[in-house]
Amino acid sequence: MARLERHPELPPPITEVGVLGWLRHNLFSSPANAALTLVALYVIYLTVPPLVDWALLKADWTGTTRADCKSGGACWAFVGVWFNQFIYRFYPVAEQWRVDLAFGLLVVLVVPLFVERFRWKGWLGAFIVVVYPAIAFYLFLGGAFGLTYVETSKWGGLMLTLIISAVGMVAALPLGIVLALGRRSTTMPVVRALCVVFIEFWRGVPLITVLFMSSVMLPLFLPEGVNFDKLLRALIGVTLFEAAYMAEVVRGGMQGIAKGQYEAADSLGLSFPKKMALVVLPQALKLVIPGIVNTFIALFKDTSLVLIIGLFDLLGAIQAAVKDAEWPQVVTEGYVFAAALFWIFCFAMSRYSQKLERRLGTGHKR
Amino acid sequence: MSTAQPASAGTAASGQAMIELRGVHKWYGQFHVLRDIDLTVQAGERIVICGPSGSGKSTMIRCINRLEEHQRGQIIVDGVELTSDVKHIEKVRSEVGMVFQHFNLFPHLTVLENCALAPMWVRRIPRKDAEAAAMKYLERVRIPEQAKKYPGQLSGGQQQRVAIARSLCMNPKVMLFDEPTSALDPEMIKEVLDVMVGLAETGMTMLCVTHEMGFAKTVANRVIFMDFGEIVEENEPHAFFTNPRHDRTKLFLSQILHH
C-alpha cells in the first residue's frame, strides 16, 4: 500500500490550543488535578476578597492622626505619616537630600549596565564597586567640604538596610570566591586548612550572636579608648558571615565545571590565576547565579538583626512606629507594609537574576 | 608515507630530540599504569600510539604536558625537564599543544575568543594581532565563517577543528592528540583527519593516540603499540601492519582491522 497524495494539513482540535487547551492541560488534566483546581479556587474565594477589601477597598489613605482612620479597613495614613522615618529614621531632615543624591547617583550609574550597546561596562562596574562607595560614604557621613557631620548612629530605616545589604553583597562575593579557591587548593594545605576553619566557624554561629558579640564582647577585648564605630562592626560581621556561605556556593559551582575545562586551560599554558579568572570562574559563577542570588536575598532580610545592637534598619523603624502611643492598633498595617517592602526588593532581585540567567545562557549551551 | 622533515616546523634545540622519556614509571595508587617507558621523538616526527583501553597510552601523552605526574624517570621536552618546578611546567605547556577527545572548548567564549585567549593572556599579544592570527588558523582548518559562533552551535567535527586551531594559535612545537576522533560521528572523522594530515605535512611534531589506522598508514613515521603500561612494539607503519612481531600486537591488530 502506498499513499499517493499528502495528507492535508489540519488545524489542531479546539481543546488542545489556546485558552481551553491551557486550562485542560494545566488545571484539569486528570481527575485529581481537577479536584485540586476546584479546592484551590475555593480557597482563593475565601481569602482574597476579604484581603483586598481590607487592604485596598475600605482602607484609609490620607489623614494625620489615628482618629482619621475610621472605616475599619487598613490605616495606610499611618504609613504616610511615618514614611519619612521608615526611609531615613533619625537622619536629619535637612540633610536628607544627601541620601537622595547618593541613591540617585547609584541609579544613574547602574542604568547603562542594562543598555545592550554600552561598551564600557567593565570600567563602569569597577567604578561602581570601587569609587562610588567612597562618594556615597562621604555623602552620608559628611564632616568635610561643607557637609555637616551625621554620625552613623543616626543612620536608619530603609537607607540603613540598603547600606548594610549593599556592603555585605559587594564585599562577601569576592571574599567568598577567594575562600572557595583556597578551600579547593591541592598545593597549599595550610591555606586550605585556614579556609576550612574560617568557613566552618562562620557558618556554625548564628548571625545574631555574631552581631551581639561584635557589639558587646569586642569592646572588652580592645584596649582602653579604642572604639570601633558600631555600624562598621556590624558591616564587618555581616560580611564575614555571608562570605562563608558564598564560599560554599561558589565551590559548588566550581565542582560543576568539567575537569576537561581545567585541563584545556592548563594545556594552553594558563597560570592558575588566569585559568580561574578567564575560564573557570566565568562558567562557575554563571552556573550558581541562583545560589548567589539566594544568598543575597537572605542577606537582605538578615540585616534586620542589627536591631539587637541598637541599629534601627527598616524593620527597627517600623517596630518603633507601631509602639508609638499616638498610633494604637496599627500593628497589622505596620508589618504588612514591612513585608510588602521587603517582598518588593527581594522579588526585584529574583526577577533580575532570572533575566541575567537568560541573557548569559546564550553562551552556555553545550 | 615519507620520513622527510620539511624545515618549516619548529626544530629542537641543537640536535637534541624533541621529546625524551627515560625509564618513566607512573602509579595510580597501587596500580602500576606506566612501566619503564623509553621513548625518543625527533623534531618533525609523527608518532601514532595504539593499544587496548587501559594500556596507558593517554596517560603517557598526558605526562608529556604534565596533566599527569610521573613518579620515576625523566621526561624532557625540547631540553626542559619536567619536574614539579612550575616554571618548567609552564614553559613546556606553552610549547606543547593538546587536542582532547571531548574537545574541551570554552563554552562561554566564541570560537574566535577561544583561539585568541591564550596568545593574549599568556604571550601578551595585543587583541587585534591575536585575533588576526586566530582567523588565519581558522582558515587553515577551514571554518573561518564560524568565528563569531559559540562552541555549542557547532557540530562535533567543527568543534574539534576549532580545538586544533586553538592549540595551533600558541605556535607549539609539539602537538599531542588524545583520541581526537573517538567522540565523532563517522561522517565527521574525515574532516578532522584531513586537518591533521595537513598539519603533518607542515612538519609539526605530532604524537597521536588513535584507533584510526588509515591515518597511521598515511602519515606516521612510527607506530607504537602499548599494552599494560609498556611499549610492546614500535616500528614504521608498513612493517608494523604487515609483519607484527609480538603475539599481543598480532592479537590487537586482528581485533581492530576487521571492519
CB contact under 8 A, A268 and B96: no
Q: For the segment B164-205, what is each residue's pLDDT rounded down to a tens digit?
A: 999 999 999 999 999 999 999 988 999 999 999 999 999 899
CA–CA distance, A27 with A29 (Å, rounded to integer)? 6
- Which set of grid coordinates corresponds to residue A244? 562563608
Which chain A residue is nearest to residue B88, measuring alpha carbons?
Answer: A269
Contact residues, chain A, for B178 at CB < 8 Å: none
Strand, helix or coil for residue B217: helix
How far is the C-alpha of A173 from the C-alpha of A245, rounded, in Å? 10
On chain B, the residues whose CB falls within 8 A of the CB of A270 are 117-118, 121-122
The CA distance from A333 to the nearest CA of chain B, in Å, is: 48
Q: Residue A278 and residue B90: Cβ atoms within 8 Å?
A: no
Q: Contact A268/B106, CB-based, under 8 Å?
A: no
Average pLDDT over residues A93-98: 83
Q: What's the pLDDT tens digit per position in B71-102?
A: 999 999 999 999 989 899 989 999 999 999 99
Q: CB-CB: which of A258, A278, A283 is closest to B117?
A: A278
What is each CA distance from A60 to A53, A76, A181, in whole angstroms? 12, 6, 55
Say yes or no: A146 contacts chain B, CB-CB below 8 A: no
H/E stretch holding B188 reads helix B186-201
Q: Tell me phi and psi for residue A129, to 5 degrees.
A: -80, -30
How far apart, in whole angstroms, are the C-alpha atoms of residue A332 and residue A69? 14
Three-class SS of chain A: CCCCCCCCCCCCCCCCCHHHHHHHHHHCCCHHHHHHHHHHHHHHHHHHHHHHHHHHHCCECCCCCHHHCCCCCCEHHHHHHHHHHHHHECCCHHHHHHHHHHHHHHHHHHHHHHCCCCCCHHHHHHHHHHHHHHHHHHHHHCCCCCCCCCCHHHECEHHHHHHHHHHHHHHHHHHHHHHHHHHCCCCCHHHHHHHHHHHHHHHHCCHHHHHHHHHHHHHHHCCCCCCCCHHHHHHHHHHHHHHHHHHHHHHHHHHCCCHHHHHHHHHCCCCHHHHHHHHHHHHHHHHCHHHHHHHHHHHHHHHHHHHHHCCCEHHHHHHHHHCCCCCCCCHHHHHHHHHHHHHHHHHHHHHHHHHHHHHHHHHCCC
Q: Residue B13 has what pLDDT? A: 52
Highest mean pLDDT among A320-329, A356-365, B38-47: B38-47
Q: Which residues have CB under 8 Å from B49's CB, separation 6+?
A: B57, B60, B61, B207, B208, B209, B210, B223, B224, B225, B226
A260: nearest CA partner in chain B: B104
Of A2-11, A166-175, B43-52, B152-161, minimum mean pLDDT range: A2-11
Q: Which of B53, B76, B63, B51 is nearest to B27 (CA)?
A: B63
Residues of B with CB under 8 A from a CB of A: 65-67, 90, 93-94, 96-98, 100, 102, 104-110, 117-118, 121-122, 150, 152-153, 166-167, 170
* Nearest CA-CA distance, residue B183 and chain A, Å: 14
Chain B residue nearest residue A366, CA to CA: B152
Q: What is the pLDDT of residue B3?
A: 42
pLDDT at B4 over 80: no
**Any B CB within 8 A of A366 CB:** yes
CATH 1.10.3720.10, domain A77-91+150-360, yes or no:
yes
Residues of A within 8 A of B167 (CB-CB) are: 267-268
CA distances from B162 to A292, A348, B180, B195, B198 (A): 33, 40, 12, 11, 15
Task: Check residue B93 and report its DSSP letter.
Answer: H
SS3 B138: helix
CB-nearest partner of B107 from A268, A278, A363: A363
CB contact under 8 A, B118 and A269: yes
Which chain A residues in 199-218 lie under 8 Å from chain B, judged by CB atoms?
none
Q: Is A264 on the interface with B (CB under 8 A)?
A: yes
Between the CA of residue A216 and those of A154, A155, A201, A210, A219, what are the distances in Å? 19, 20, 19, 10, 6
Q: Are A28 and A36 in contact (CB under 8 A)?
A: no
- Give A271's contacts in chain B (Cβ within 8 Å): 90, 122
How far, CA to CA in Å, does B119 sit from each of A56, A257, B7, B9, B171? 63, 23, 24, 19, 9
Task: Retrieve residue B99's grid coordinates.
Answer: 587536542
For residues A178 and A250, the answer to whether their CB atoms sit within 8 Å is no
Closest CA to A245 of A179, A337, A303, A157: A179
Identity of the amino acid at A104: G
Angle, CA A110 vertex, CA A108 and CA A116 arms, to 5° = 110
At residue A82 the predicted structure's pLDDT band, cuts being 50, 70 and 90, is confident
Torsion angle in degrees (nearest 10) through CA of A76, A80, A81, A84: 140
Which residue of A lies nearest to B84 if distances are taken between CA atoms?
A187
What pLDDT is recorded for position A363? 42
Residue of A nearest to B94 (CA): A269
DSSP B194: H
- Helix, strand or coil, per DSSP, at residue B41: strand
Q: Do A264 and B153 touch (CB under 8 A)?
A: no
State residue A225's pLDDT score. 66
Q: pLDDT grade, residue B258 (50/70/90)?
A: low
CA distances B171 to A210, A366, B17, B175, B194, Å, are 55, 27, 19, 10, 19
Cα Dmax for chain A: 101
Please state which of the ranges A7-16, A59-68, A188-197, A306-315 shows the lowest mean pLDDT: A59-68
pLDDT in tens, B108-158: 999 999 999 999 999 999 999 999 999 999 999 999 999 999 999 999 999
Q: Which residue of B has its CA nearest to A284?
A: B108
Minimum mean pLDDT range among A91-95, A177-181, B35-39, B120-124: A91-95
B107/A366 CB distance under 8 A: yes
Q: What is the ipTM of this complex?
A: 0.90
Residue type, position A125, single letter: G
**Strand order of the sheet with strand B230-235?**
B96-99, B174-178, B205-209, B46-50, B222-227, B230-235
The pLDDT, as a whole number, for residue B6 is: 43
Interchain proximity B122–A270, CB inside 8 Å: yes
Distance from CA of A188 to the nearest CA of B (A): 14
Residue in A closest to B167 by C-alpha? A268
Looking at residue B224, what DSSP letter applies? E
pLDDT for A281: 94
Closest CB to B108 among A260, A274, A283: A283
Q: Do B108 and A282 touch (CB under 8 A)?
A: yes
| pLDDT, tens only, A235-250 | 989 999 999 999 999 9
Confidence (pLDDT) at B5: 42
> How many Cα atoms sit within 13 Å of A196 on the Cβ side?
9
Task: Provide the sign of the torsion angle of the four alpha carbons B226, B232, B236, B238, taken in this order.
Answer: negative
Mean pLDDT of chain B: 90
Nearest CA in chain A to B117: A278
* Chain A interface, best mutation among B104, B167, B182, by max A CB count within 10 A: B104
pLDDT in tens, A281-328: 999 999 999 999 999 999 999 999 988 888 888 888 888 888 887 777
pLDDT tens-digit readout, A244-275: 999 999 999 999 999 999 999 999 999 999 99
What is the value of pTM for the model shown? 0.82
Q: Do B108 and A362 touch (CB under 8 A)?
A: no
Q: What is the mean pLDDT of residues B58-74?
A: 94
Nearest C-alpha neighbor of A269 from the set B124, B118, B61, B102: B118
Phi then psi dihedrals of residue A69, to 5 deg: -95, 90
pLDDT of residue A1: 82
Residue B2 predicted with pLDDT over 50:
no
Tell me the nearest-neighbour CA distance from B93 into chain A, angstroms: 5
Q: Could you tell me which chain A residue has the CA closest to the CA of B150?
A: A363
What average pLDDT does chain A have?
86
pLDDT band of B15, cuts 50, 70, 90: low
Average pLDDT over residues A9-17: 81
Whole-number percent of chain B with pLDDT over 70: 93
Domain ranges within chain A, ordered by starting residue: 77-91+150-360
* Distance, CA of A251 to CA of A247 (rounded, Å): 6
Which position has the higher pLDDT, A56 or B244? Answer: B244
**Of the candidate ranges A20-34, A107-121, A128-142, B217-231, the one whose mean pLDDT is the lowest:** A107-121
Residues A215-222: what's their mean pLDDT? 76
Considering only CB atoms, which chain B residues are within 8 Å of A283? 106-108
CB contact under 8 A, A269 and B100: no
Nearest CA-CA partner of B175 in B76, B61, B251, B256: B61
The reply to whether residue B122 touches residue A266, judged by beta carbons under 8 angstroms, is no
